[in-house]
Structure 1
Amino acid sequence: MTYEEILTKYEPVVGLETHVELGTKTKMFCGCKTDFGAEPNTQTCPVCLALPGALPVMNRAAIAATIQIGLALNCDIAEWCRMARKNYFYPDMPKNFQTSQYDEPLCVDGYVDVTVDGKEYRIGIERVHIEEDTGKTLHVGGATGRIHGATESLVDYNRAGIPLVEIVTKPVPGLGALAPEIAKAYVAELRDIVRSLGVSDVRMEQGSMRCDVNTSLNLPGDEWGTRTETKNVNSLRSVERAVRSEIIRQAGILDEGGKIFQETRHFQETTGDTRSGRSKETATDYRYFPEPDLVPIAPAPEWVSELKAALPEKPSIKRARLRDQWGISEVDMQSVANAGAVELIEETIAAGSSAAGARKWWMGELARRANELDVDLAAVGATPAQVAALQKLVDAGKLNDKLARQVLEGVVAGEGDPAEVMASRGLEVVNDTGALTKAVDEAIAANPEIAAKIRDGKVAAAGALVGAVMKTTRGQADAKAVRDLLLERLGVS
């Protein structure tokens, strides 16, 4: 069946568990630094390595950031809660348990509104809780980066103990064929909300924001089906693809009379499908129990009120304000938001570009390239400062749109900033009056019949001669300047 046919027979239910690494200076339970990209195992201590006798101490800044996230997601903040031990073994988790929260989370019962195809959808938030991240395992010697086929595995504990916030939605039924797009829109909105708080850089490509995508199918009127959990999806585009892929895979199994098993799966960026990981544990398997080495969390109402009063402008309100400033329609603004381009365009304008120019490049050429490369727009290879510099060169008459696209190609390829690419590729607009006059005269001499038509008042015919001059100058002349000079040389006002 096609995707459209599947959705006439089955109803999808989607849920998302999103992990956000907080941008605190130190880890959740110790004073180790959290700098990204440091040499492996240089940001560790007896606490985050779980050495005997080491005791944890709570990071107040991480608790404050979690409360801020909960408030921004319209959650209720618990007056009293506590940490728990989640017991399981991973090679990159030195304790063999994760300090997390179980039945008493810090934030509960919130929601996020997203708009897709002009319709608003409310995504319920089940809980927002604080925990610690695990380390990172690198499998080497194989072709896929996974353990299968690898010759050895290396463990970096720098990330172990970094504050991690988990945001869990309630199951979301009734989305129909738009389930993949709505899941993507939710994660994009969540990313914008968290980024606006300044508590995380939410860079999915670096792993500071990761999604687990839960998907199930059922026949209309039946109970919800068995869900699968696609782990660690690391881009907005991949969230959409993961939901769509699981809907198609599960429908194929159910149509053949098969059974869906509750399991974790891994999304394959190269193929766009998911592969089986392991059977999914239940809460009982993790043997949760209260963490004995940490005191309960009881945020004072006055502190919560202070945090709430300091919340920044909501991204949805900000988009409405920017929409008016940029002079675009609500539909256009929604397209910008869905593309993940709001901040990129805003930063480009702040760097000196016009709103129209910034939007043109991010939503045009760069969006096209992002689709070709199958990456998020922010990872396409150009920065807002570079795009602003490109537009300034266009505004100054040093580049036309055709040349600017070639310069942007060089920027994305890592050849340098726009001015450097323009110089190295020799792409600057030809403004030498003598050279342009010579090229115009040559075009007139080579096309006397067209020149005669123009002299007789058929100015529209000038386009052919302008094209000839542009060809001669390899597209580096300003078309309007060429046309004006052409008419002047032919004595046409």
Structure 2
Amino acid sequence: MSAPLIHGYEVVIGFETHTQLATRSKIFSRASTAFGAEPNTQACAVDLALPGTLPVMNREAVQCAIKLGLALGSHIALESIFARKNYFYPDLPKGYQISQFEIPVVQGGEVSFLLGDEQKTVRLVRAHLEEDAGKSLHEDFIGQSGIDLNRAGTPLLEIVTEPDMRSSAEAVAYARELHKLVTWIGICDGNMQEGSFRCDANVSVRKPGAPLGTRREIKNLNSFRNMQQAMDYEIRWQIEELEDGRAIEQATVLFNPDTGETRAMRSKEDSADYRYFPDPDLPPLVIAPEWIEATRTTMGELPRAMAARFVGGYGLPEYDAAILTQSKAMAAYFEEAAKASEQPKLASNWVMGELARRLNAQEQDIHQSPVSAQQLAQLIKRIVDATISNNAARQVFEALWSGAGSEVDALIDSLGLRQMNDSGALEKIIDDVIAANADNVAQFRAGKDKAFNALVGQVMKASKGKANPQQVNDLLRQRLA
């Protein structure tokens, strides 16, 4: 299924994602990577590029790169090299960034995900190790800027895609899937507000069948909402420029979430502008095949494999499986509830429905849920064995959530929600309702189904909501036959 055209133009998007690696020290020094320290308190002599200092590779950062390569089905280079990427910003102490250019550590691979009901796959060009720069601070200074070098030297994996995405919705879905993957395998904490997962979107438009258009790179998108808004604005702006007869100039742009607009920051550099050359202070990075295989054994089940198992083993729809594997914690919660209740589809419905709704409303993660998987499983059992109705189950769930109790059966009794399953008592209520509602009985027998629903409602009211709805339907139809 091809992407829809926008005013006759096809959208082309590629992504570059800077993933901060979950190491305790920096990529070429032993300085801490902890977030939130006072400015310039976590920048050592190596990070500051003082004379005589030499970089030393962080083994754990390489381990993270290997994990990513395995998760993406990429080729992991047994030998890769570091290069100096030369540019001059105040927050770059060396005057160059140590990165990888010609031979990156992770090559190729792909990210697959669902966009609605459609399977999408984005091809990757590479993922390379590099150091982060510092940070320029403007907001706290009047008429001047400050430099915080705490981030300088923080280890990054820059993950670069082919220009495979054809809409902002597809690009955001890709970013979400990549975010899920890097947090799942434990190489990144995924905190976008702290800059741990930053995306740059290369956006261009073209007429169908035409060569790729001139791209503009939207830098440092740090929320999925901002990504969507920034790309949508940029797409509209580029189309309007072309329709007005103006050419698009390659540029780096910033997104202003307050105005919802992008604005050009500088002309976009190409690789030649950075004058890459091999870093003479770092030998080639050599990874033994045994290291890769040892890492593979520790990876555990990946989200795509787990989703496939949920479909095959629990009979869940692909959509359910994709949602439930958005995080390890959610997948584990569902699986515990599904096994304990022996009702995987009902467990899926409750996790994706009532539980997710409440967590989202309170902006909580699933590990913060006041209702445990075992409690949810017990609740589901009581629905299945007709102890309570679905409506009563929601009331019990509310009581569990608010801390009114912890035992499902005790709450059912204390709230008076146990269903009436005594057929003799129920038959008497039904006979009384039939006797008192002769008009509805006559209308039903004349073929009006709404009259039957009215009778059901009267029975439920008379039983104070405790009657089993299915049993009511069955007995009432028997009586009216």
TM-score relative to the length of structure 2: 0.74
Gaps of 5+ in 1: 142-146, 374-378, 411-416, 435-447, 471-477, 485-491
2:333 corresponds in structure 1 to 348
Aligned-partner Cα distance in 1 for 2:105–2:60: 14
**Residues 466-493 of structure 1: CA distance to partner in whole angstroms, max 9, x if unpaired?**
67999xxxxxxx7669999xxxxxxx9x
1:83 corresponds in structure 2 to 82
Deviation at 1:229, TM superposition (A): 0.8
2:457 corresponds in structure 1 to 463
Aligned-partner Cα distance in 1 for 2:354–2:394: 7
Which structure has the bigger radius of gyration?
A: 2
Alignment of 1:56-455 (within 5 A): 56-140=55-139, 153-172=145-164, 176=166, 179-270=167-258, 272-334=260-322, 336=323, 341-349=326-334, 359-360=348-349, 363-364=352-353, 380-386=363-369, 388-389=371-372, 391=376, 418-420=401-403, 431=414, 452-453=436-437
Does the CA-based 8 Å contact 2:334-2:348 persist in structure 1? no
Does the CA-based 8 Å contact 2:184-2:327 persist in structure 1? no
Change (3 A) 1:368 1:218: farther
Deviation at 1:252, TM superposition (A): 1.6
SS at match of 1:185: helix
Aligned-partner Cα distance in 2 for 1:380–1:369: 8
Does the CA-based 8 Å contact 2:254-2:265 persist in structure 1? yes
Does the CA-based 8 Å contact 1:140-1:152 persist in structure 2? no
SS at match of 2:285: coil
TM-score relative to the length of structure 1: 0.72
In structure 1, what residue type is equivalent to 2:215? Answer: R
SS at match of 2:138: strand
Gaps of 5+ in 2: 418-431, 445-451, 472-478
In structure 1, what residue type is equivalent to 2:163? Answer: P
Aligned-partner Cα distance in 2 for 1:134–1:401: 55
Deviation at 1:326, TM superposition (A): 4.7
Change (3 A) 1:326 1:151: farther
**Residues 121-166 of structure 1: CA distance to partner in whole angstroms, max 9, x if unpaired?**
332211111001123344325xxxxx9xx66645433322121001
Change (3 A) 1:387 1:245: farther
Alpha carbon RMSD of aligned pairs, Å?
Answer: 4.5
SS at match of 1:295: coil
Aligned residues: 439
Aligned-partner Cα distance in 2 for 1:190–1:420: 36
Aligned-partner Cα distance in 2 for 1:91–1:159: 13
Deviation at 1:327, TM superposition (A): 3.6
SS at match of 1:328: coil
SS at match of 1:34: coil
